[in-house]
């Protein structure tokens, strides 16, 4: 965690010493999910996007001609929703929503093209995230002999390098997440910009071999504002 923070702060702090570099803020909406989507051999799982958010700092550094480096330091909230149903041997259903908050450093390489009163841009780049907190909420019922017993609760997410003696009331996730982002958007001359984002995780997050062993992914939209360029 400390190494990631130091690396992020160093990268952001070094950019203003160069010409044609802007810094700003960015925030956006995520429609999060996980892949692959696990299917139990005895029941049916129906997955749907989970509405989450991300926000943080962005820098925009001109590299060469129409190419830019755009690092971002974000608080990024990812997750998924699952509706599990099993009719045999008992009438059972469980709706869960899992939220994973991480500190994420992105390094996006951007191509910009003059278009109208601003610039159209496309880009891609890797990210590295470190889990901070999380929670899994559940709600459902368990039917026995025609009678339903309802339950409702939550349990925390813990980030561990190794899990030797797991606690059944905790969802364990690996501390670090890495993947790649793709984006396209439009930037106005006053520094305001909008984009659409697709993020794909490349490493497994959970330790189990079933439903918790998956990768994070999301579609999203963002709005940001780049401050006056340094000179």
Would you state the pLDDT for residue 231?
A: 46
Enter the pTM of the model: 0.83
Tokens 């009719």, residue?
87
Average pLDDT by stretches of 10, the chain with 231 residues? 54 56 94 75 80 95 92 93 80 89 95 94 95 93 81 91 81 90 96 96 72 80 84 46
CA angle 195, 197, 198 (to 5 degrees): 165
Q: Using only the alpha carbons of the chain, give its radius of gyration.
A: 21
Query: What CATH number does the domain located at 2-226 have?
Result: 2.40.160
124 φ, ψ (degrees, to nearest 5)? -160, 160
Give the position of tokens 């699952």.
Answer: 82
Could you tell me the residue ranges of all domains in the chain? 2-226
């Amino acid at each position: 965690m400390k190494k990631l923070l130091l690396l992020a702060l160093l990268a952001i702090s070094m950019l203003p010493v160069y010409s044609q570099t802007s810094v700003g803020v960015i925030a956006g909406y995520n429609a999060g999910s996980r892949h692959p989507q696990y299917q139990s051999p005895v029941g049916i799982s129906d997955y749907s996007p989970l509405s989450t958010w991300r926000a943080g700092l962005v820098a925009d550094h001109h590299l060469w001609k129409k190419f830019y480096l755009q690092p971002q330091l974000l608080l990024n909230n990812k997750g998924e929703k699952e509706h599990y149903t099993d009719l045999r041997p008992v009438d059972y259903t469980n709706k869960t929503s899992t939220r994973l908050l991480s500190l994420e450093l992105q390094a996006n390489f951007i191509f910009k093209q003059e278009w109208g009163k601003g610039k159209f841009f496309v880009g891609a780049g890797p990210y590295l995230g470190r889990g901070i907190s999380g929670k899994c909420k559940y709600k459902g019922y368990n039917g026995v002999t025609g009678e339903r017993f309802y339950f409702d609760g939550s349990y925390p997410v813990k980030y561990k390098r190794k899990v030797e003696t797991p606690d059944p009331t905790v969802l364990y996730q690996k501390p670090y997440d890495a993947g790649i982002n793709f984006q396209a958007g439009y930037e106005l001359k006053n520094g305001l910009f909008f984009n659409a984002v697709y993020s794909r995780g490349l490493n497994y997050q959970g330790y189990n071999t079933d439903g918790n062993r998956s990768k994070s992914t999301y579609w999203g939209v963002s709005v940001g504002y780049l401050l006056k360029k340094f000179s």
